[in-house]
Structure 1
Amino acid sequence: MVFLLPQEIFSFLRSFGGSIAPSNLENAVTFYEDLHSVNGGTEVQRKENYTNMINIYYDVATSFYEYGWCQSFHFSSRLYNETFHESIKRHEHYVALRLGLKPGMKVLDLGCGIGGPLREIAAFSGATVIGVNNNESQIKRGTVLNKQYGVAENCQFLKADFMKIPVPDNSIDAAYNMESCCHAPDLVALYKELYRVLKPGQCVAGYDWCMTKEYDPNDQYHNKVKDEIEFGNSLPTIRSTTEYIQAIKAAGFRVLMEEDMADKPDVHIPWYDSLNPNRLSLDGFRRTWLARLVGRQMLKVLEFTRIAPKGSIEVNELLERSGNGLYEGGRLRIFTPIFFYLAQKPHNENI
């Protein structure tokens, strides 16, 4: 984290921690950390506690994400002469085009964060997009941004667990996720829920986090990297690309397309470049090692002076470990956050 203007510091501090009381931040972070393999936790524990785990993570991580990344909390590979933000929008537009979104359609954004993709896709397609999110602080922030950008009419939020979406059967025209279904404790159950709410013949698409065919479960370092990614990103586990597609099919969908967008031949800058610990650039300065260093020292001062709550430094360290794990996973080609799929609910459900 790094801030260039004093007002950004105060804005960050106002939103940091979400619904967690400042006096309870350190305990909440400790609870989160103890669920993960790097601290002796298990996959079973993470799945049993996934609601609390994810809410704690996004309560403490969202402010860092927004100020250090952007309002769209997802990765993208970059084409030649393409800026970071242009690549983010391209990935969002690609989902809208593959789904054939248009005005009059009612669309779900699963695990929508503060609504960056939601607003972009709604503006690009003209569809009404409803963000499904179980984190109250993110919804509050997203609602403020919707009003700020004047898009409240066709950009909405629904506070709910996406494992149990409170909408009628066969009522939704399309659904997508931007690297969020990886949080699900049961992927088959999640896609069965999506199958229920989608109209016959309609589709779900998105990008998600998977281990690639290069991942070797018997390689100790590969497993260490996988554990770090799970720890730093509130994941119960990371499925392989094969497991991911099998889960979608098991829920009843027809898979129309699957592709690792990180492995395309026209990629000029890989998705993990922004996380390179040695990167130094004026473009996206806040994502460089120097920005991390400055931000780390600033946060130490803020916590020491009790302006920031105790546990803030620990959160920053958690997110830095996350970035390093993701960079290694990308560099080794054992992990991708942009595995794309398009799947259709059959017109005739008996087929």
Structure 2
Amino acid sequence: MPVESRKADRVDAYTKKYWQKDAAKDNDAHRDSRLGDYAELVNGYYDGATELYEYGWAESFHFCRFYKGEAFLQALARHEHYLAHMMHLKPGMRVLDVGCGVGGPAREIARFSDANIVGVNNNDFQLERARKKTAKAGLSDKVSFVKADFMTLSQQFGENSFDAIYAIEATCHAPTFEGIYGEILKCLKPGGVFGVYEWCMTDAFDPSIPRHKEIQHGIELGDGIAEMRTIEAARKALKSVGFELLHEEDLADREDAVKWYYPLEGNPLKAQTTWDMFTVFRMSRVGRFFTQNMLWGIEKVGFVPKGTYDVGESLIKAQAALVAGGQTKLFTPMMLWVCRKPKA
């Protein structure tokens, strides 16, 4: 893939243009600038981070719960199956995946439910990879991908055009919850269901506490999010645009023996299977050292866009902030809502 297809200039701009590295210096003006330019911010982030995600994680860019002894990839798939189950997805339904990444969840949910999935994304690099991976999996007849902006979904697809819509840790990138949830509501048929795993700061979060603000800022900087918002803000937005809330639960708040953030801790001794030791090792200090030095080298010779190394550094900051957010329960990546568009 040529560097130019990823728009190297916006990769390089990601850490230089949008962020104050010190959380205490990041103010409302910086946040408003990010929100106003959210599409370029997110695209710059994923142009640089996508292959790092695939290398370090998998083709499904999300977190999940773990049972003891459960393999990493198995747990990711189960998390996707659970959402499809809670939404009652059925064969033949037309379903929209909002923020589809490289299509890992769309392919898995299509296999699980036999629904027809349309993945939407605003990043050309990810879309091209999603189409190639889907063709290789033999699922191009069940899973397709469309380039579109979160905030104009109803213009792209038309109102009342999907039986169900889901989003897995993606709508946090939208500039407002009301905006993205309102577009999703419009695109759903009356009676249609929306299921979402949302990234939120929990009720324990207090922005006046410097450590809380530092964790929030680390997650924003390291994950391409213009503004991390609260559970209450998401709940209020879902209700205000007109959704009926059918189910609500912070899955990260369950008392699991194996925590959702354990791979990020980088301790291979905590790996649930032998193969998963490699995944966890990549998150360790030694693993990060090798990855970043490799990035530095291949960026110098032009194999990846300028700025990819800096994006890698931001991912390291995110790793620390996500673990801290999980341990203190200030943050959840799996606030689950299942909602219905009223029939009337």
Fold similarity call, TM over 0.5: yes
Tell me how far apart the structure 2 counterparts of residues 186 and 25 of structure 1 sit (CA, whole Å): 23
- Secondary structure at the counterpart of residue 33 of structure 1: coil
Give the C-alpha shift of residue 255 in structure 1: 0.5
Output the aligned Cα RMSD: 2.1
- Secondary structure at the counterpart of residue 234 of structure 2: helix
Q: Is the 8 Å Cα contact of residues 200 and 345 (structure 1) preserved in structure 2? A: yes
Matched, 1:84 2:72: yes
Distance 1:181-1:312 versus aligned 2 partners, 3 A rule: closer
Residue 209 of structure 1 corresponds to which residue in structure 2?
Answer: 199
Residue 274 of structure 2 corresponds to which residue in structure 1?
Answer: none
Matched, 1:275 2:275: no
Residue 7 of structure 1 corresponds to which residue in structure 2?
Answer: none
Aligned letter for 2:123?
N
Matched, 1:30 2:19: no
Distance 1:189-1:28 versus aligned 2 partners, 3 A rule: closer
Matched, 1:151 2:139: yes
Matched, 1:60 2:48: yes
Q: 2:342 aligns with which of 332, 346, 350?
A: 346
Tell me how far apart the structure 2 counterparts of residues 289 and 74 of structure 1 sit (CA, whole Å): 21
Q: Map residues 241-260 of structure 1 onto 2, 5 A cutoff.
A: 241-260=231-250
Residue 298 of structure 2 corresponds to which residue in structure 1?
Answer: 302
Residue 293 of structure 1 corresponds to which residue in structure 2?
Answer: 289
Aligned letter for 1:129?
I
Residue segments in structure 1 that go unaligned for 5+ positions in a row: 1-13
Distance 1:35-1:186 versus aligned 2 partners, 3 A rule: farther
Distance 1:15-1:315 versus aligned 2 partners, 3 A rule: farther
Instruction: For residues 97-145 of structure 1, give each alpha carbon's deviation from its aligned partner in whole angstroms, at most 9, with x where no partner exists.
Output: 1111111100000001000000000010000000011111100000000
Distance 1:20-1:336 versus aligned 2 partners, 3 A rule: same
Count of aligned pairs between the two proteins: 333
Tell me how far apart the structure 1 counterparts of residues 25 and 210 of structure 2 sit (CA, whole Å): 16
Q: 2:251 aligns with which of 257, 261, 273?
A: 261
Matched, 1:316 2:312: yes
- Secondary structure at the counterpart of residue 325 of structure 2: helix
Tell me how far apart the structure 1 counterparts of residues 20 and 86 of structure 2 sit (CA, whole Å): 40
Tell me how far apart the structure 2 counterparts of residues 24 and 194 of structure 1 sit (CA, whole Å): 28
Aligned letter for 2:34?
R
Give the C-alpha shift of residue 262 in structure 1: 0.6
**Which stretch of structure 1 is more off in the superposition, 36-45 or 154-163?**
36-45
Residue 95 of structure 1 corresponds to which residue in structure 2?
Answer: 83
Distance 1:347-1:308 versus aligned 2 partners, 3 A rule: closer
Instruction: For residues 281-330 of structure 1, give each alpha carbon's deviation from its aligned partner in whole angstroms, at most 9, with x where no partner exists.
Output: 52523333321122122233334555555433212111111111111111
Residue 184 of structure 2 corresponds to which residue in structure 1?
Answer: 194
Tell me how far apart the structure 2 counterparts of residues 197 and 309 of structure 1 sit (CA, whole Å): 36
Q: Is the 8 Å Cα contact of residues 33 and 39 (structure 1) preserved in structure 2? A: no
Residue segments in structure 2 that go unaligned for 5+ positions in a row: 272-276
Q: 2:106 aligns with which of 118, 127, 138?
A: 118
Q: Is the 8 Å Cα contact of residues 79 and 268 (structure 1) preserved in structure 2? A: yes
Q: Is the 8 Å Cα contact of residues 92 and 121 (structure 1) preserved in structure 2? A: yes
Q: Is the 8 Å Cα contact of residues 36 and 231 (structure 1) preserved in structure 2? A: no
Alignment TM-score, normalising by the size of structure 1: 0.89
Tell me how far apart the structure 2 counterparts of residues 49 and 235 of structure 1 sit (CA, whole Å): 11
Q: Is the 8 Å Cα contact of residues 29 and 56 (structure 1) preserved in structure 2? A: no
Q: Is the 8 Å Cα contact of residues 164 and 193 (structure 1) preserved in structure 2? A: yes
- Secondary structure at the counterpart of residue 114 of structure 1: coil
Could you list the structure 1 runs, at least 4 aligned residues long, displaced by more than 6 angstroms after superposition. Answer: none
- Secondary structure at the counterpart of residue 226 of structure 1: helix
Residue 330 of structure 1 corresponds to which residue in structure 2?
Answer: 326
Distance 1:302-1:170 versus aligned 2 partners, 3 A rule: closer
Instruction: For residues 41-77 of structure 1, give each alpha carbon's deviation from its aligned partner in whole angstroms, at most 9, with x where no partner exists.
Output: 6221111000110110111010100111000000011
Alignment TM-score, normalising by the size of structure 2: 0.91
